[in-house]
Amino acid sequence: MSDGVEFDSLVTRYYGPLYQFAFSLTRSESDACDLTQQTFYIWATKGHQLRDIAKVKTWLFTTLHREFLNMRRKIVRFPHYELSEMDHELPAISPAMVNVLDAAKVVELLNQVAEPYQATLALFYMEDYSYKEISEILGVPLGTVQSRISRGMAQLQQLIKDLGSPDTASKREEAHG
């Protein structure tokens, strides 16, 4: 799998989704490029250890997420969240409220969601992984994945709702004015 031609086709197939996942985590083009490149470097040096070749994609996403955590640990310690205290009732929003936003704004809002939920939500929205695969990639139990998605989705939708509400808009204008 590590020879030139197969490596090339592997890159062609997965570098886009991996980059988008990395960008959703970092919001930085250069950090996302570095994470994607580092992921394929690790594949080139350690990919031969993967026994089940059908799991290449999961392996790549797992590696990228691990590298992201390593990168973050060097910068900040994760804040601690009391998950049970968070309200996860889904706020009602319409597709139109999302459609007026551009991709960069949605990524910005995703990064305002509590840290532990961000990667889970990114995989939930961007990839077609089963919940079991998401739990393997992130290294957390299946139940934790589901609760993180529920709570993260509630936070994200609340942020989108706040963005569209007149009160929030006027507060933003006051802050800038």
Partner 1 sequence: MDSREAREILALYRPGTADAADPRMAEAMDFAQRDPELAAWFEQHCAVYTAIRSKLKSIPVPPGLKRRIVVDHMHHARIIPLPSTVQLLLAAAAIIVISAIVWTVFTTQNPNTFVRYRDHMARMVQRGYSTSMQLGDQSQIREYFRTNGVPADYVLSKNLQKLPGEGGVILNWNNRKVEMLCLDASANAAAGKGKDLWVFMMKKSDVQDPPKPGKTYFEQVGHLQTASWAEGDKLYVLAADGTRQDLEKYLQ
Where does this chain bind partner 1 (CB under 8 A)? 2, 4, 7-8, 11-12, 15-16, 19-20, 23-24, 29, 33, 36-37, 40-41, 44-45, 48, 90, 92-95, 98-99, 101-103, 106-107, 110, 122, 124-126, 128, 130-131, 146, 149-150, 153, 156-157
Taking the complex as a whole, how short is the minimal distance between the CB of residue 48 and partner 1, in angstroms?
Answer: 7
Q: Which of 96, 175 has the CB closer to partner 1?
A: 96
Rounded CA separation 46/109 (Å): 35
- Write the CA distances from 88 to 142, 155, 158, integer angstroms: 18, 7, 10
DSSP type of residue 50: -
User: Least distance (Å) from partner 1 to the CB of residue 81?
Assistant: 20
Contact 43, 3 (CB under 8 A): no
Distances, alpha carbon 76 to alpha carbons 71, 109, 120, in Å: 9, 20, 19
State the nearest-atom distance from the C-beta of 167 to partner 1, in Å. Answer: 21
Q: Which residue has the tokens 């139940």?
A: 143
Nearer to partner 1 (CB atom), residue 12 or residue 84: 12
CB-wise, 7 or 114, nearer to partner 1?
7
Q: Which is nearer to partner 1, 137 or 153 (CB)?
A: 153
Give the helix ranges, DSSP H, for 76-165.
95-99, 103-110, 115-126, 131-138, 142-164
State the nearest-atom distance from the C-beta of 173 to partner 1, in Å: 24
